Amino acid sequence: MDDRSCRTVKALYEKHSAAFEQLRPTNLVEKAWLDRFITNIKPEGHILDIGCGNATPIAEYLLSQGFSVTGVDSSPSMIARCKAKFPQQAWLIADMRELNLGIKFDGILAWDSFFHLPRADQRQMFRIFSAHAQAGAALMFNTGTSDGEAIGKFEGEPLYHASLAPDEYTLLMQNSGFQVIQQIVEDPQCGGRTVWLAGTNP
């Protein structure tokens, strides 16, 4: 797969942004992981939410816990919804692979977003994560279970996913200044997601 995969994903979420808002579960099955994530972030810290969607329920929960959020998404319609809901936060239309915000964050989250990138782009993202991480920052993202590509469906259209092998994720994090704090494969308490939580040295 090449960059066409990312272009297709971006176009699909933009096309179906209204459907995404209706279909995205808001019961916060992710809460236990979000709580682990914010436990590793200083109170009232600044979080970068990469692939923030329409801000509900993830960014909304982080805001409710007293954190500030800068949200990034490639969909203009998604970002418009974020701005309408939470106008005092920063919401940016951007491709995560090109992020260069010149700001360091206390937490970086790439939830249900990072895994849409081709594997070569996923490898490059760890440099971007590192460039935006304060000393002592937390990083959390979710992936597949093994090296490979998969095509799901959203609104009846193909939706690309990819994953590296777990050992490669661990090595990429170590080489980028992150240490794994916790990792669970297909967590049954989180909708079967495979989740990584890591942190930088203080």
CATH code (residue 142): 3.40.50.150
d(CA 161, CA 143): 9
Is residue 1 predicted with pLDDT exceeding 70?
no
- Report the domain count for the chain: 1
Q: Which one is predicted more confidently, 85 or 4? A: 85
- The stretch 172-200 carries a mean pLDDT of 97
Predicted confidence at residue 23, as pLDDT, reads 57
pLDDT digits (tens, 9 = 90+) for 115-138: 999 999 999 999 999 999 999 999
Question: Does pLDDT of 101 surpass 80?
Answer: yes
Query: pLDDT at residue 156 above 90?
Result: no
Q: What is the pLDDT of residue 5?
A: 56
Confidence (pTM): 0.93
**pLDDT bracket for residue 159 (50, 70, 90):** confident
- Residue 25 or residue 158, greater confidence: 158
Residue 143 pLDDT > 80: yes
Q: E strands of the chain, at which residues? A: 46-50, 68-73, 90-93, 105-110, 133-143, 148-154, 157-163, 178-187, 193-200
Identify which of 39, 49, 74 has the alpha carbon closest to the alpha carbon of residue 197: 39
Range of the domain at 84: 3-200
Query: Given a cut of 80, is residue 180 above it in pLDDT?
Result: yes
Q: How many CB atoms lie within 10 A of CB 171?
A: 13
**Percent of the chain scored above 70 by pLDDT?**
90
Question: Residue 155 has what pLDDT?
Answer: 73
Of the chain, the percentage scoring pLDDT greater than 90 comes to: 80
Q: Cα(146)–Cα(164) distance, rounded to whole angstroms?
A: 6
Instruction: State the average pLDDT for the chain.
Output: 91
| Cβ proximity of 89 and 82 under 8 Å | yes
